[in-house]
Amino acid sequence: MTGCEITANAIKDFFGNNHLQTVSIPILQPAEPFLDMAGEDLRRRIFMTENENGDSLCLRPEFTIPVCIEHIKTGATTPRRYAYIGEVFRQSRAGENGFYQAGIEDLGDVDEANADARTLHDASALLQHISTNIDYTIFLGDQNVFASVLQGLGLVPTWQKRLLRSFGNAKQLRDLLHILAEPKSEQSLPDNLMKLVEAQDESELTNYIEEEMLDAGISPSAGRSPTEIARRLLEKQLLSSVKLTKPVLEALEEFLAIRLPLDDAEDALFDFGKKYELVSDQFLMPFKARNRAFLNKGIKLEAVEYDAAFGRPLDYYTGFVFEIRKNSGDVVIGGGRYNRLMTMLGADRPIPAVGFSVWLDRLMKDEESTIGFQKGQGK
């Protein structure tokens, strides 16, 4: 038995011992859900194709979205925990376009703090089950805390949404804060159109754009609709008209610079909230509950690094996110909470969800068991 087979069997044993339902996900997937929901970083790396009917398909770039679609399609009850192991496909400049992943998706547990703690515990336990000789560090972030800070500091909703979309992308977030500090008009429009934009009159602006499209022989149903164009113009105008005061900008920069062991993070966030008159109890309550759940699962808070600016490059994450990194810096496990995804994919009610993936190739690359995870080994 080869090292890769031993590793695959060890993972399957872990799944079985933890009463997880292992699912089989086809390699060829409908492309639309990934293009709509996975985020820019993943979208540009997807291998696209189409079937004989012209439907857009792709090689499976990750497991979370198709696992959730399968759950919805089968009408399964919750709570339910799924496990998987198999290959994902992403374009890479390094030439390695196929990677092996294993992971767990935890759906429907309304006790979110407990489910988050179980997810992080399972990720660490699976890592130790596969490889006992790896030194690693856990990094944790929380998009909900950032959202509460933005709201508490009084940013306009449009800017809150835009900054949240950039959470976890340090350069993009820094660029947006620079724009906020020194805004400038991004639009050069005809006077009559500019008047409607400045008046923030969506209805009149939509009608004007539709009439212009018809006069130019452009069908309003081709490409972006007049309503979408109008909303984008209004958003750009609003974004360019807002300037952050120096105290608010300094507060955001101070928050994003918070990085310390998780056992010290509560006090640091409380002090920050008190300093800037945020509703500390409200934005810290879920954070505190999750830390207590971590302790109940035997997770040492001092061994987890909290980074207020840390996020993950997938658009569907909504709260708690984490990565486990080798001391070399390689990310070997990544995951977090994605509560909005289930309804975005068609669920008839909100379903809380959290999960993680293990990058098996990265994990095993320095060990003998990396010799040829055979194609088709995993499901």
For residue 242, pLDDT over 70 is answered with no
Is 317 annotated as a binding-site member?
yes
For residue 279, pLDDT over 80 is answered with no
Q: Are 107 and 342 in contact (CB under 8 A)?
A: yes
Q: Which residues contact 336 (CB under 8 A, 6 or more apart)?
A: 312, 317, 319, 320, 321, 322, 354, 355, 356
Phi, psi of 82 (to 5 degrees): -110, 150
CA distance 103 to 5: 17
Mean pLDDT of the chain: 85
Under the banding of pLDDT at 50, 70 and 90, the label for residue 97 is confident
Sign of CA dihedral 145, 147, 148, 153: positive
Is 208 annotated as a binding-site member?
no
Q: What are 291-316's pLDDT values in tens digits?
A: 999 999 999 999 999 999 999 877 88
Q: Are 124 and 293 in contact (CB under 8 A)?
A: no
Residues facing residue 49 across a β-bridge: 57
What is the pLDDT averaged over residues 89-96? 80
CA distance 134 to 328: 10
Q: Are 100 and 369 in contact (CB under 8 A)?
A: no
Whole-angstrom CA distances from 215 to 135, 172, 207, 218, 230 are 66, 38, 12, 8, 17
Whole-angstrom CA distances from 128 to 16, 75, 193, 251 are 16, 34, 61, 39
Is 64 annotated as a binding-site member?
yes
What is the pLDDT averaged over residues 231-244? 69
For residue 185, pLDDT over 60 is answered with no
Under the banding of pLDDT at 50, 70 and 90, the label for residue 213 is confident
Lowest mean pLDDT, pick from 86-100, 311-325, 348-362: 86-100
Under the banding of pLDDT at 50, 70 and 90, the label for residue 376 is very low
Q: Which residue has the higher pLDDT, 330 or 67?
A: 67
Q: What are 58-80's pLDDT values in tens digits?
A: 999 999 999 999 999 999 999 99
The pTM of the full predicted model, rounded to 2 decimals, is 0.81
For residue 153, pLDDT over 50 is answered with yes
- Choose among 323, 357, 339: nearest CA to 84: 357
Residue 379: predicted pLDDT: 32
Amino acid at 188: S
Q: Which residue has the higher pLDDT, 223 or 90?
A: 90
| 20-24 LR contacts (CB < 8 Å, sep 24+) | 20/81, 20/82, 20/83, 20/104, 21/80, 21/81, 21/82, 21/83, 22/82, 22/83, 22/84, 22/85, 22/379, 23/67, 23/70, 23/82, 23/83, 23/84, 23/379, 24/379
CA 97 to chain CA centroid, Å, is 21
Is 337 annotated as a binding-site member?
no
Is 362 annotated as a binding-site member?
no
Q: What are 17-46's pLDDT values in tens digits?
A: 999 999 999 999 999 999 888 777 788 889
Q: Which residue has the higher pLDDT, 37 or 240?
A: 37
Q: Collapsing DSSP states into helix, strand and coil, what is residue 266?
A: helix
Residue 1: predicted pLDDT: 43
For residue 6, pLDDT over 90 is answered with no
CA distance 130 to 133: 9
For residue 335, pLDDT over 80 is answered with yes
Please classify residue 247 by burial: count the beta carbons closer than 10 Å to its beta carbon, then call 0-12 exposed, 13-18 middle and 19+ buried. Answer: exposed
CA distance 65 to 28: 13
List, in order of start, the domains of the chain with CATH numbers: 3-135+327-370 (3.30.930.10), 191-241 (no CATH)
Under the banding of pLDDT at 50, 70 and 90, the label for residue 122 is very high
Percent of the residues in the chain that have a pLDDT greater than 90, as a whole number: 52
